[in-house]
Amino acid sequence: METHNLTYISEFHFMGFSEDPDLQPVLFGLFLTMYLVTVLGNLLIILAVSSDAHLHTPMYFFLSSLSLVDICLTSTMVPKMIMDILTHRRVISYVGCLTQMSFFIIFVSMDDMLLTVMAYDRFVAICRPLRYAVTMNPRICVLLLLVCVFISLLDSLLHNLIALQFTCFKTVEIANFFCHPTQLLNLSCSDTLIKTLVTYFVGVILGFFPILGILFSYCKIVSSILKIPASGGRYKAFSTCSSHLSVVCLFYGNGIGVYLASAVSYSPRKGMVASLMYTLVTPMLNPFIYSLRNRDITNTLKRLHS
């Protein structure tokens, strides 16, 4: 396989979802519609939370932050993908590729961290209700958000330092519709053993501990809910975290399920579908889940509409 020196590489080429010319208008319309729905839906959540004083609580503060991150995540690569379909030119510069990869890692890590913080918020609200106002005061909420940002920036910086060590590439063809970090790692023709170990170690740390934190929080939440004597009280307690639990299942369920299927019988198409679930489908569905399963959000959106 031909090897390309980093010195002579100025751009990478993406793999499209289909080479059929007749399908290009369909893909363009589909992805553009999904992107607009994602942006508008998450903007409505942010608008609802910011306009209603009753929603100025830690839970909705983190929800609006999650919506903002979802908008940024989809905007990092989906507009580029839509433009590539429209222009029939799936090319990105080397610097643009590293920049896109950096923002992708930041916002995916932010999604991961915020879902964990939101689970902790529900744990305190249900299991420690008398201490909730003190534990989740505005200063602590801002601090938790800043910690999420710091960890995400650190994760992105580490991946960039690793990527900048690559001196040559086997090919300039990226088997995805954006610059995924594992794609760049696979394209490198230099010794990547240590870099691979570091990358996957960080991935396990940032993936395992958030999932462990979410599982711990919900084990305690379920245990506390089952101790509530009245069925109405149990339903009310569970309804406050059902939307978040649905988003967690969607985020991790889709990601783990699709990637496990890809690992069993890997193909570039399956990898692209897995990436699409993270970058577009899940952020698009989140506003629907929170608006349809949350009376506070629904009532605020109705007042804004009227």
With a cut of 70, say whether residue 194 has pLDDT above it: no
Band of pLDDT at residue 1, cut at 50, 70 and 90? very low
With a cut of 60, say whether residue 188 has pLDDT above it: yes
With a cut of 70, say whether residue 41 has pLDDT above it: yes
pLDDT of residue 29: 93
The tally of CA atoms less than 13 A away on the side-chain side of residue 41 is: 22
Q: What angle do CA 14, 19, 21 make, to 5 degrees?
A: 125
Show the tokens assigned to 59: 């839970």
Band of pLDDT at residue 187, cut at 50, 70 and 90? confident
Q: What pLDDT, in 10s, does the model give residues 55-65?
A: 889 989 999 99
Chain Cα centroid distance, residue 195 = 23
Higher confidence at residue 4 or residue 139?
A: 139
Specify the range with the lowest mean pLDDT, choosing from 86-95, 133-142, 256-265: 256-265
The amino acid occupying position 45 is: I
Q: Are 3 and 168 in contact (CB under 8 A)?
A: yes
- For the chain, the average pLDDT equals 82
Q: What pLDDT, in 10s, does the model give residues 109-164?
A: 999 899 999 999 999 988 888 899 999 999 999 999 999 999 999 988 988 888 88
> What CATH number is attached to the domain comprising 219?
1.20.1070.10
pLDDT of residue 195: 65
**How many independent structural domains does the chain possess?**
1
Strands (E), 3-138: 4-5, 11-14, 91-93
pLDDT of residue 174: 84
Q: What is the phi/psi pair of residue 92, to 5°?
A: -145, 145
Which residue segment(s) compose the domain that 9 sits in?
4-305
Q: Are 117 and 209 in contact (CB under 8 A)?
A: no
Higher confidence at residue 221 or residue 16?
A: 221
With a cut of 80, say whether residue 77 has pLDDT above it: yes
C-alpha–C-alpha distance, residues 185 and 113, integer Å: 24
Q: What pLDDT, in 10s, does the model give residues 91-122?
A: 898 889 889 999 999 999 999 899 999 999 99
pLDDT of residue 199: 65
With a cut of 90, say whether residue 90 has pLDDT above it: no
Q: What pLDDT, in 10s, does the model give residues 213-254?
A: 888 988 988 888 887 776 666 676 677 777 788 888 888 776
pTM reported for the whole predicted model: 0.88
pLDDT of residue 302: 75
The DSSP code sequence of 119-165 is: HHHHHHHHHSGGGHHHHT-HHHHHHHHHHHHHHHHHHHHHHHHHHTT
